[in-house]
């Protein structure tokens, strides 16, 4: 068998080599490199002769120096090729005593019913598990398309712009308590609800370059807040970045009206689509999106390495 060579690609001229595996993110890689969301040194290949037998790629938000996600990982045939690639790349991508970035994989919504895809996923997960990663959560990737009806307001709620960072963080702190979201629940094992809300606000929400006056607080007629929705645009699509109902007002159907308000605002911008995501296990939220006209266009599998302590 030809010796395995493992290395980052040497330049943009090797992007076709890196993209020899078909994947939904391939068309974004060149643009991501230009925008600073990827680096050539973060795109690794394992070669046997001229053939790419495994590859891995990392992504980050613009301006960040460290990779946030490993969102590309493919293996041609042999799981061990993928394991050897990760064994070489991970110490470089997560140097010292640091935890490697979370791994995620986008999949067709019916991936379990496709034998070839199921085998690819099994090999993908097996290689990650051999390096110490574990399945963290499976998520639904959701999409609203123009022409899909948006539920009309019932009049039960009034919507206004967010009054400022403190108001939104206060509401996020309440929403995190009792959340069914796997990432939020994990954070609550390591920090308080307030700390989790502050971190998400500063690391994610305030960094969206779309207008923050799109953000909406939902209130009762007397002005009492019941929840919020954060319509935004990330580097790729218009999105519902976050929405929630505070615990005291859950179970009353308010989530449908709050989601509809965010969808209506973005739809008014003449967007080609609106994207969102939620955990498979967050059944109430998944049902709310379905009632709101969102369809599952992909699934996503997240795997993580144990935190280094």
Quick: pLDDT tens for 34-70. Answer: 999 999 999 999 999 999 999 999 999 988 999 999 9
Go through the domains of the chain in sequence order and give each one's CATH number.
Answer: 4-139 (3.40.630.30), 158-292 (3.40.630.30)
* Mode of pairing for the β-strands spanning 134-144 and 102-107: unpaired
| pTM, rounded to two decimals | 0.94
- C-alpha distance from residue 239 to each of 145, 233, 283 (Å): 12, 6, 20
Q: Average pLDDT of the chain?
A: 96
DSSP state at residue 47 = E
Helix (H) or strand (E) segment spanning residue 91: helix 79-93
Check if the beta carbon of residue 58 is closer than 8 Å to that of residue 67.
Answer: yes
Among 173, 172, 148, 161, residue whose Cα is nearest residue 273: 148
Q: pLDDT, tens digit, for every residue of 121-179? A: 999 999 999 999 999 999 999 999 999 999 999 999 999 999 999 999 999 999 998 89
Give the largest CA-CA distance in the chain: 74
For 207-220, how does the pLDDT look when each residue is reduced to its tens digit (9 = 90+)? 999 999 999 999 99
Query: CA 205, CA 100: separation in Å to the nearest integer?
Result: 23
Let me know if 130 is exposed, middle or buried by CB neighbors in 10 A (0-12, 13-18, 19+): middle
Mean pLDDT of 199-204: 95
Question: DSSP letter at 214?
Answer: G
Can you tell me the mean pLDDT for 246-270?
A: 96
CB 197 within 8 A of CB 169: yes
At 309 the pLDDT is 43
For residue 82, give every residue at least 6 positions away whose Cβ sits within 8 Å of its Cβ, in sequence order, or none. Answer: 46, 54, 73, 74, 75, 123, 124, 127
Question: 82-118, pLDDT tens digit by residue?
Answer: 999 999 999 999 998 799 999 999 999 999 999 999 9
Torsion sign (Cα): 193, 194, 195, 196:
positive
């Amino acid at each position: 068998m030809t010796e395995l060579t493992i290395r980052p690609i040497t330049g943009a001229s090797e992007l076709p080599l890196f993209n020899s595996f078909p994947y939904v993110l391939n068309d974004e890689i060149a643009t991501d490199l230009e925008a600073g969301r990827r680096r050539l040194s973060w795109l690794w290949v394992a070669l046997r002769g001229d053939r790419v037998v495994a590859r891995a790629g990392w992504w980050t938000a613009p301006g960040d120096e460290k990779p946030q996600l490993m969102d590309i990982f493919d293996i041609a045939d042999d799981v061990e090729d993928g394991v050897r690639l990760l064994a070489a790349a991970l110490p470089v991508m997560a140097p010292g005593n640091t935890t490697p970035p979370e791994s995620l994989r986008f999949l067709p919504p019916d991936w379990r019913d496709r034998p070839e895809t199921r085998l690819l996923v099994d090999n993908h997960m097996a290689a990650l598990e051999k390096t110490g990663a574990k399945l963290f959560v499976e998520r639904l990737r959701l999409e609203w398309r123009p022409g899909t009806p948006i539920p009309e307001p019932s009049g039960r709620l009034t919507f206004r712009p967010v009054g400022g960072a403190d108001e939104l963080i206060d509401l996020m702190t309440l929403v995190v308590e009792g959340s069914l979201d796997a990432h939020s629940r994990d954070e609550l094992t390591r920090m308080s609800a307030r700390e989790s809300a502050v971190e998400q606000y500063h690391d994610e929400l305030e960094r969206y370059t779309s207008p923050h006056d799109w953000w909406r607080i939902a209130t009762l007629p007397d002005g009492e807040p019941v929840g919020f929705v954060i319509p935004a645009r990330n580097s790729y699509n218009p999105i519902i970045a976050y929405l929630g109902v505070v615990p005291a007002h859950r179970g009353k159907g308010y989530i449908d009206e709050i989601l509809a308000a965010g969808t209506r605002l973005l739809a008014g911008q003449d967007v080609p689509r609106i994207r969102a995501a939620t955990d498979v296990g967050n059944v109430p939220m998944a049902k709310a999106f379905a009632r709101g006209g969102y369809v599952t266009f992909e699934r996503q599998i997240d795997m993580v390495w144990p935190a280094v302590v």
